[in-house]
Chains A and B, each alone.
Chain A
Amino acid sequence: MEPRALVEQAVIPCLQVILVVLLIPLVIAYLQLVERKVLGFMQARLAPRRVGWHGLLQPIADAVKLLIKEDTIPARADRFLFTLAPIVSVVPALLALAVIPIGGVPFTLFGYEVRPYIADLDIGVLFLLAVGSLGIYGILLGGWASNSKYSLLGALRSGAQMISYEIPLGFALIGVMMLAGTASLVGIVEAQKAAGWWYVAPQILGFFCYFVSAVAETNRIPFDLPEAEAELVAGFHTEYSGMKFAFFFLAEYTNMIVVSALVTVAFFGGWLRPFPNVRALDWLENGWVLLVPLALGAFFGWMVDQRVGGGMRFLFVGGLLGGLIGFGIGAADLFGVATASAPQLAGAFWFGLKVSFFLFAYIWFRGTYPRYRYDQLMDLGWKWLLPMSIANVLLTGLVLLLRGGGAS
């Protein structure tokens, strides 16, 4: 095999894998900080602020704490399974990230072609669903290996909940696959580009089923009874501490990211801008130049404390500064002084924006809603979401049939 192909097909994906595995814990640590900050601001209080400037070093402190904690294993627990369970939780979650694309078009770096995804499987959606189901084993093993009847019951409930909500999840995605005609994630986004609109519009019911099932899959409020008070203790990860607990935690947040990314790809056009085929909005392709500094400026402005009457002031100041910088870059681009446009960066920006919005929605739900009781939770999954998602599939099929031949 010629060396160029070897590098492109083997070495670069390996480097991408290493990058993802190294970056994801960092991203998740800071995602956790953002969650605490957003929740704090929603609740009229300030979230972590003492460690580092406005709490930015808090995740590092948390990580160090978890690393140096004593590694306790309960007395008569199954040691091998106890240590294996967090690994079985984390590995499928990380594995799912292999098929998530952040862009469509490969770009060249130092003369080698780099694809904005690690692998584009033809059965991408199926792979994701399968790998997501594997993560449930970790929870069941964790509960069993803890040698505590409360942990076991919590794990069984958590597992049953996740399995029940896998089904509407899958059915919601079938509607998308029918419209796109392919199960490859890149293909789904390309199909949305060809169709000219994001699939959330024709598949609004599917999106609703999918997102609610996703929140239930990842055991978040309003579906987190197994974690919160299950049998009056903390559920399957009661007996875990230190790095093992950190792994369960990592698995949960990685699942959140994977699910948000999947909802973006399947329903919200992945890396496409709104109305991807409308010529008049082509300037939005380069709009990231303006919007990224704006967003970053607003974000930092928001992270700074809100004094009495301050409210939106820092947001605006940060946004204004960012906007000016972006305008400057854009103007420089316009007058040929410097080039800033690149379709890959634009795509990555839109993808990141949408995933961030869904992660914010997760945190928003956590701050707003009470919890469902366990039997109400199962009712919702089996009696409401499953029929709705099946109805969605039937409806999609009917519409495709009536429009004359479905996708191939």
Chain B
Amino acid sequence: MLRTEEMEINMGPQHPSTHGVLRLILHLDGETIAGMRPVIGYLHRGVEKLAEHRTYAMIEPLTDRLDYVAAVSENLGWCGAVERLMGVTPPPRAEYLRVVLAELQRIASHLLWLGTHALDLGAMSVFFYTFREREMILDLFEAFCGARLTTNSMRIGGFLEDAPRDWLERVRHFLKIFPGRMKEYEDLLTKNRIFVGRTKDVGLLSAADAIALGVSGPPLRASGVSYDVRKATPYSAYPEFEFDIPVGKNGDTYDRYLVRMEELRQSCRIIGQALDRMPDGEVKAKVPKYIKPPPGEVYHAVESPRGEQGFYVISEGGEMPYRVRFRAPSFGNLQALETMCRGQLVADVVAVIGSIDIVLGDCDR
């Protein structure tokens, strides 16, 4: 009999399809993957250590740069965590605006995911179409916060300034044209036999495995577990909105795609409700000039587009936190990569990585 050996190849940190500086060491048995080891840490910047030497307001720009694709979700989580420590509640208008921004960010992040995922699989036009819509959302962010990507949008207690005068109208206009654009993406991908062939039954993850490995967000929901932080431990103004949580059946790449597409629709629904019921009033609660939360610790989680983004803050009463721990959803989701890829072909690895939607800034902090 011929003796076969496993081949070990390196899908290095520099690779167009790994969505950041992720290194994968693949053990191949012919074409199928026998084992895989992700090597992370290429984007580690020591954010948690940096946070110990900055005041609570100064940490917010740092959180922008954790999950740089979904900066508003990070800001929301951070401000929510500190507000819980201090016992401050932002006024209702601020909460509603925060929800609108967070859901717009979810749409923008999922559009980036969709574009890059389709591009990895070869459908390059979808990439340009999704970025065309993403540009509209980024323009909305620029009008509100001043920056497109590293938004630094919120402050502890609410916002610095209210929305510009025509901003809500522009959001409404975006909501009007977005469903038509979504139909374009669906026309090109959802029923396309080539796309379905590349994604169905690829990268299976069972519900038990997902829970055991600490997966959260759309990959967890695609495996059949109905867990969304917005419903499980509600925060901000989410209890006042009506929305569904899409749950998949098989836990394959196609289900993760469908779950995220449905989340896009649900986000539009939430924004529509928020715009309709937007309360008037001020946008910043009364907070002291120098923020010094009383001693204590808090764990505050938000549902970022990647999954459960957690903020664990220990305060000793000073201006700077004693310890800050960012729970990264991409780290947990990445752990499931080996389970998902075992037994698949090499060409499927690209599809699976694209479907988990990791951001290395979030994973490595």
Contact = CB atoms under 8 A, between A and B. Distances in A.
In the complex, A touching B (Cβ < 8 A)? yes
Contacts of A231: 9, 346
A367 B125 contact: yes
B128 A373 contact: no
Given A43-B124, A43-B125, A373 B15 contact: no
Given A43-B128, A368-B188, A375 B345 contact: yes
A369 B123 contact: yes
The winner among B9, B128, B129, B347 for most chain A CB atoms within 10 A is B347
A370 B346 contact: no
Nearest to A42: B125
A317 to B, nearest CB: 26
Interface stretch (B158-166, B190-198, B229-237, B292-300): B190-198
Contacts of A112: none
Interface residues of A, number: 24
B121 interface: yes
Interface string B345-365: 111101000000000000000
B194 A370 contact: yes
A373 B125 contact: no
Interface string A148-192: 000000000000000000000000000000000000000000000
Nearest to B351: A373
B266 interface: no
B345 A373 contact: yes
Contacts of A39: 124
Given A44-B128, A44-B132, A232-B15, A369 B347 contact: no
Contacts of A370: 118, 121-123, 189, 192, 194-195, 198
A229 B118 CA distance: 14
Given A225-B347, A369-B123, A371-B121, 10 more contacts: A43-B124, A43-B127, A232-B9, A368-B188, A369-B194, A370-B121, A370-B198, A371-B194, A372-B194, A372-B197
Interface residues of B, number: 26
B195 A43 contact: no
Interface string B194-235: 110110000000000000000000000000000000000000
A369 B192 CA distance: 8
Interface in A184-232: 221-222, 224-225, 228-229, 231-232
A373 B344 CA distance: 12
Contacts of A373: 197-198, 345, 347-348
A234 B118 CA distance: 19
A350 B129 CA distance: 35
10 contacts: A42-B125, A43-B127, A222-B194, A232-B11, A369-B194, A370-B118, A370-B122, A370-B123, A370-B192, A374-B345
B73 to A, nearest CB: 28
Interface of A: 39, 42-45, 221-222, 224-225, 228-229, 231-232, 366-376
The winner among A45, A221, A229, A375 for most chain B CB atoms within 10 A is A229
A225 B194 CA distance: 13
A232 B124 contact: no
A370 B132 CA distance: 19
A366 B9 CA distance: 30
A144 B188 CA distance: 38
B55 interface: no
Nearest to B18: A232
A228 B350 CA distance: 12
Contact of B350 (A44, A224, A229, A368): A229
B203 to A, nearest CB: 13
B335 interface: no
Interface in B141-200: 188-189, 192, 194-195, 197-198
B17 interface: yes
Interface string B10-49: 0100010100000000000000000000000000000000
